[in-house]
Amino acid sequence: MRRRTLALRASAVVGAGVLLAQGAAFGAGTAPIGLTKPVSASRTNLDPGRMYSSPAFAVDPRNPMRIIATAADLRSRRCEAMRSLDGGQTWTLLDAAPALPSYPSCSQSQGGVVQAPVAFGRNGMLYIASGAWDDQDGTRTGGAISVSRSANLGDTWDSTLVYTARGKTGEAAENVRPAQGLVVNTTTGSDDVVFVSFNITKSGFTAPNAVPAVPVVAVSRDGGRTFGAPVDLSAGQFDAAPVRAQALTSRTTVTLAPGVTTTSTTAPAAGSKAAQPDQAANFGGSNARLAIDKKGTVYALWSSGASNITPAPPAGRFLSKSTDAGKTWTTIQTMPFSYDNAGPRFAVSPSGVLHIVYQRNPKPDLAGYGEIYHQASTDGGKSWSDPKVITDDNEKDLRGQYIPNISVAPNGRVDAVWWDTRDDPGIRSNDVYYAYSNDNGKTWSKNQRITDQTVDRRVGVWGDNYDITSPPGLTSANAYVVIGWDDTRNTFDNYTIGINGERGGGLQDVFTAVEQFSIVGPANNNTARVVLAAVAGLLFVGLVLLGVAMAAKRRTGAPAPARAGAQAKAKVG
C-alpha cells in the first residue's frame, strides 16, 4: 500500500515536473531557457587580413528559422552577407556581393555605425542598404548610397544607386554617408515601399560659412528598383527663433583651466555665418534611425547638429513621421537640447509604442564611465517615460557601457544589447550584455553576459586611433534573440600584440549567439539539452516507480479488509 501510494505520488510529481519543464522549454516567451554557445558566422573566410564589423540582422517573417546577417570587412572595404537556415545556430558566408561594380566599397570609417542595415520585404524579398564608393571617391568626400535586393536569400543580388555625389566639385561637392536606416513597408500598394536614411554634407563649404549635415530619407515605391530624391527631414525645423534660442542657451560655458586668465580667440569675419550664429542656416541634423509599425507608419528619430557656432550647442532629438508611404512628413521635437542625447537607437513595438536606448555618462568628470538608458513613448513621441537605467552592475565600479542596440519581437518583448566593460581584466577589452522587458520597458530582466570570452581590443580597429565601432547586432523573434558582435579571439594564432609598433593588426570575426525563449531547431545549446534530459529522466524514474508498484500489487493481490481491532489499534497508536 505504501509503495503504491509513494509510486503514485512520485508519478504525480513527475507529471507536474514534466509540465513545468515543458512550460519552461516551450512557453510563449516569458523567460529565456538557454543561450547557445557562440559560433563564428564568418568562419569560412580564411583571409588572414579579415576585419569584420559587428553584424546587422533580419529575420524572414515567413520562416523565423531563416536569418540574414550583413557586415563589412573593414580591410577589403566590402560588405558581405551571411545566412542561417536554423535560427542562427550555423551560418553560411555567401559568395555574391551586394554591391554595384562601379561602387564596390561600402565600409565607413565612423564610430557607432551599422555598416549595412538589412530588412525583409514581402514574398521573401531581401534588401540591404549601404554606403557605396570607390577609390576615386575617397572615404570622406563624394560617395553614394545603394540598395541591393535579392529574391533568393542572397544567392544573387540586383543593386540600385539611391543617391551619388560622384563628380560633384566646388560648392556642389557633397559627403554622402553612411546608410543609417532601412525599413520596408509591405502593406501599401502592390510592391514594397523601401525607405533608406543617410546624411548629406556640403563639403565644399568650410568655416566660417560651413553648411551643417542634414538627415535625409529616400523612398522607393517599386520594390527598390528606383528611388526618388531624398527629403531633408530637418528642413524648416529651425526657422522659429525660440527653437534656436533653446539650442544656443543650452551650451555649456567654457571653464578656463587653473591659472589661465585669458583665451586666444579670433573674431569671425564680418558678414559670415559664424558672425551671426543665430540663424537657421547654421542648424541641421544627422543619424536618422528608422522604424516602422504594423500599420506602415514610418518613424525617423534624428539628432540636431550645427555649424559655425562656438561652442557648439548640444543635440536635440526630433521625430519625423510619415503615414502615406513617404510622400509627406511631419516633425516634432521629442527631447530638449542636451548633452545626454548621445547616440539613441530606435525601435517600435507592434502596438505602436516607441522605444529608444542610449548611452549616458552620469558622471561626466569620469572619462569612460557610462550607463545604458531606456525611454518609451505611447503617444507617438509627444511625451516619453522617465529615463530608466537598464544596466545593473555596481555603479561604484565605474565601468563603461556604451553603443547599445534595441529590437522588438512580434509578441512585444523589448530586447537590448550593449558593449560592457564590467569584466575587463585591465587589458582594454569589452563584452556584450543583454536584457529584455515584457512590459514595454517598465521593468527589465537581470543583465546577462552573452560573450563567452572577453573581446580583447588591444588588436583590431576598435581603438588605437581607429575607433571604427558598431553596436552589437540584434534581431528578435518570439522564440529567440540573435545577438552578434565583432570578435578578435582568432587573432592570437598568428599575431603578437605590439610587434614592430603595428597598429590595427590582428583579426576580427563575426560571432553570434542565440538566446532562446523556446527551443529553436535541433536545440544545440546546453541549457535546452539539460531541460530535455531532465524531463526524460523524470519520466524514466516515474515509469520505473510505477512499474514497481504495479508489480507489488500483482504479487500481493488486493489488500484484505482491516480487522476492527486493527483499526481501533491504529487509531489509538
Domain's final residue, options 342, 377, 408:
342
| Same-domain status, 21 and 129 | no
**pLDDT score, position 567:** 29
**pLDDT score, position 376:** 97
Q: Residue 160: pLDDT above 80? A: yes
As a three-state string, the secondary structure of 124-174 is HCEEEEEEEECCCCCCCCECEEEEEEECCCCCCCEEEEEEECCCCCHHHCC
Distance CA 473, CA 404 (A): 9
Asked if the structure places residue 493 within a domain, the reply is no
- Cα distances (Å, whole numbers) of residue 7 to 15, 171, 544, 546, 547: 12, 87, 9, 5, 9
Q: Residue 352: pLDDT above 60? A: yes
521 pLDDT band, cuts 50/70/90, is: low
Asked if the structure places residue 333 within a domain, the reply is yes
**pLDDT score, position 109:** 67
CB burial of 128-145 (b: ≥16 within 10 Å; e: otherwise) equals bbbbbbbeebebebbbbb
| Same-domain status, 11 and 118 | no
Cβ-proximal residues to 532 (8 Å cutoff; 6+ apart), any chain: 25, 519, 523
Q: Residue 417: pLDDT above 50? A: yes
| Same-domain status, 209 and 317 | yes
Looking up residue 171, the CATH number of its domain turns out to be 2.120.10.10
| Same-domain status, 140 and 242 | yes
Domain's final residue, options 294, 315, 342:
342
Distance CA 32, CA 438 (A): 12
pLDDT tens digits along 166-177 = 999 999 999 998
Cβ-proximal residues to 328 (8 Å cutoff; 6+ apart), any chain: 322
Contact 426, 409 (CB under 8 A): no
| Same-domain status, 171 and 23 | no
Q: Which one-letter amino acid corresponds to residue 202?
A: K
| Same-domain status, 1 and 126 | no
| Same-domain status, 302 and 183 | yes
Q: Residue 573: pLDDT above 90? A: no
Residue 218: name the closest of 194, 240, 250, 201 by CA. 194
- Looking at the chain, the number of H-run helices and the number of E-run strands are 4, 30
Q: Which one-letter amino acid corresponds to residue 122?
A: R
Q: Residue 317: pLDDT above 50? A: yes
Q: Select the more confidently predicted residue: 136 or 205.
A: 205
Asked if the structure places residue 225 within a domain, the reply is yes
261 pLDDT band, cuts 50/70/90, is: low
CB burial of 513-539 (b: ≥16 within 10 Å; e: otherwise) equals bbbbbbbbbebbbebbeebeeebeebb
40 pLDDT band, cuts 50/70/90, is: very high
| Same-domain status, 152 and 299 | yes
Distance CA 358, CA 385 (A): 14
Contact 181, 197 (CB under 8 A): yes
Cis peptide preceding 258, ω within 30 of 0: no
Q: Select the more confidently predicted residue: 260 or 421.
A: 421
Contact 459, 489 (CB under 8 A): no
Q: Residue 466: pLDDT above 80? A: no
**pLDDT score, position 464:** 60
DSSP 52: B
Domain's final residue, options 302, 320, 342:
342
Distance CA 56, CA 378 (A): 27
The strand pair at 298-306 and 317-322 is best described as antiparallel
| Same-domain status, 23 and 148 | no
**pLDDT score, position 152:** 98
Asked if the structure places residue 69 within a domain, the reply is no
Mean pLDDT value across the chain = 84
| Same-domain status, 298 and 162 | yes
pLDDT tens digits along 384-404 = 999 999 999 988 888 889 999
Phi, psi of 242 (to 5 degrees): -60, -35
CB half-sphere exposure, 481, CA atoms < 13 A:
33
DSSP 424: -
- Full-model pTM: 0.85
| Same-domain status, 9 and 155 | no
- Weakest mean pLDDT among 178-182, 279-283, 472-476, 563-567: 563-567
**pLDDT score, position 13:** 39
Asked if the structure places residue 325 within a domain, the reply is yes
Q: Residue 572: pLDDT above 60? A: no
Q: Select the more confidently predicted residue: 15 or 67.
A: 67
| Same-domain status, 175 and 315 | yes
pLDDT tens digits along 420-451 = 999 998 888 999 999 999 999 999 999 999 99
Asked if the structure places residue 547 within a domain, the reply is yes
- Cα distances (Å, whole numbers) of residue 455 to 358, 461, 485: 22, 12, 9
Asked if the structure places residue 173 within a domain, the reply is yes
What is the tally of structural domains in the chain?
Answer: 2
Q: Residue 529: pLDDT above 80? A: no
The proportion of the chain whose per-residue pLDDT surpasses 70, expressed as a percent, equals 79
Asked if the structure places residue 302 within a domain, the reply is yes
Task: Quote the domain boundaries for residue 4.
Answer: 1-27+530-558
